[in-house]
Chain A
Amino acid sequence: MEEGLVSLGEYSISNVHSRDCPGTYPGRNDAWDLDRFKQLFRVEVVSLEDDALVFDMIGIDASIANAFRRILLAEVPTMAVEKVFVHNNTSLIQDEVLAHRLGLIPIKADPRLFEFPPQRTEEGDKWPSSTPEHMLEFVLKVRCTHAPAPGGAGRRGTAAEPYVNSKVVSGDMEWIPIGDQAKTLSDVGPVKNDILIAKLRPGQEIHVRMVCVKGVGKDHAKFSPVATASYRLLPDITLLEPVVGERADRLAKCFSTGVIKVVGNGDSRRAEVGDTRKDSCSREVLRHEDLKNCVQLSRVRNHFIFSVESTGALAPEELMVEAVKTLMSKCKHFIRELDCLGSQ
């Protein structure tokens, strides 16, 4: 059983936990050492797009990888609509449902330029009005009417487009700058303009004023900056015996394309391990009696393939940097508190 591999068996998974703490193996020095960490640790970016980032972190422990995943989901702040002041809502969507939907719309504003709102009390929210460093204000004012008929006669429009403004989309939200926000901020608004908020019919109107604040995912999921952030371990496949001929073809079919390559021609064609990254770890090969004993399926324990998909407020690589900064500030705060306690 190799030390760095988590083996995936037919009925169970074994060798899951890392045993590289000092004391497990006598005579081996496993103590934490920053230089050894820097030697073994590598980051490789696999793909980088506007809203999604896939990268590998090799040589770290699962506890750190999981800490980053949890921080990306719940503790990196974003801006989202928190207060909705309803001036007029004659649509079929109830006020609270409309407010809930507005809160979930991702807002494109750099949360690092804002401060957290002052702490709320249980009795009532007394916010100082219009503080440019705490909030963003939006107005949504849409009224649905009949479309004018082509040719200008009468009220009814064509059968294809009978109404004007019957779909309220996120692009209808208008940003109202407070104070000198117009000078310091640019390009503020919802990330996507085609998010459907409500549907109206003639005579119905929605007129609301929204206030966005900075928050974290722990408070409400609308403040989470990632569509999702996840990681998986790199799969590893070892062939225990040579697989030739028609068995090699069947073995290749048990895995995703590209994982097992069949090399050569005719009856002596061999199966070879190709790109294990493409493997979805379905363990299909274990369902075949004659093939299950010729492969060993496992995962590399300290090779994490991270996938970060941003909702649009910050670029995914900036999100990862923010997550690391959040972890560092948590640790520094902790050490300060510990020192205070120690000096008492």
Chain B
Amino acid sequence: MNAPATFESFLLLDGEKKISITKDTKVPNAAIFTVNKEDHTLGNLLMHQLLRDPQVLFAGYKVPHPLEHKFVLRVQTTPDYSPQEALSNAITDLISESTALETRFKEAVRERREGD
């Protein structure tokens, strides 16, 4: 009876922005990104990719409440690097990783098909 529509878990409502950034004032060079209408699929992926960057001092994410479809990602970097730059490099790396994965996968399937 009170259940929200299921499409609300992935469609942005009017006026809602996909990403918003707030600077964390307690430590230098830290930012909190709030991503709307996304879940652990992207959150965990981004967090692990950020952790593989040597200039990222802290990266962590959480889904504040399972009924609210968003996640919060906190990133802290070294002084010469900004969190936005770190995030955008992480995503670029992910895109190149997926492209490499896709090529290898297609090759493997093609080899298998030819071997039959």
Interface, chain A (partner B; CB < 8 A): 20-23, 29-32, 34, 37-38, 41-45, 48, 55, 57, 60-61, 63-64, 66-67, 70-71, 74-75, 119-120, 122, 216, 218-220, 317, 320-321, 324-325, 327-328, 330-335, 337-339, 341-342
Contacts and interface: CB of A to CB of B under 8 A. Distances in A.
A30 B109 contact: no
B45 A22 contact: no
Given A31-B52, A324-B101, A338 B84 contact: yes
A130 to B, nearest CB: 23
A77 B17 CA distance: 24
Contacts, number: 129
A120 B8 CA distance: 11
B49 to A, nearest CB: 7
A317 B105 CA distance: 9
Contacts of A325: 102
B95 A331 contact: yes
Most B C-beta atoms less than 10 A away, residue of A30, A74, A321, A327: A327
Nearest to A74: B41
Contacts of B95: 328, 331-332, 335
Q: How large is the interface on B (under 10, 10 to 19, 20 to 34, 35 or more residues)?
A: 35 or more
A32 B90 CA distance: 9
Contacts of A37: 97, 100
Interface in B27-83: 35, 38-42, 44-45, 47-49, 51-54
A116 to B, nearest CB: 10
B2 interface: no
Contact of A60 (B19, B21, B84, B101): B101
B44 to A, nearest CB: 5
10 contacts: A32-B93, A38-B100, A43-B105, A63-B44, A218-B10, A327-B94, A327-B98, A328-B98, A337-B17, A341-B17
A321 B6 contact: no
Given A42-B104, A220-B6, A334-B42, A21 B52 contact: yes
Nearest to A64: B45
A219 B6 contact: yes
Contacts of B11: 119
Contacts of A71: 41
B100 A34 contact: yes
Contact of A338 (B39, B87, B113): B87
A202 to B, nearest CB: 39
B10 A216 contact: yes
A30 B53 CA distance: 9
B26 interface: no
A50 to B, nearest CB: 12
A120 B7 contact: yes
Contact of B93 (A21, A30, A34): A34
B84 A321 contact: no
Given A45-B109, A220-B6, A331 B94 contact: yes
A319 to B, nearest CB: 11
Contacts of A64: 45, 48, 97, 101
Given A31-B52, A32-B52, A324-B98, 11 more contacts: A22-B53, A41-B104, A43-B105, A55-B108, A70-B40, A75-B41, A122-B5, A324-B105, A334-B42, A337-B17, A341-B20
A330 B7 CA distance: 17
Contacts of A38: 100
Contact of B97 (A34, A122, A220): A34
B95 to A, nearest CB: 5
Given A64-B45, A218-B9, A324-B98, A341 B109 contact: no
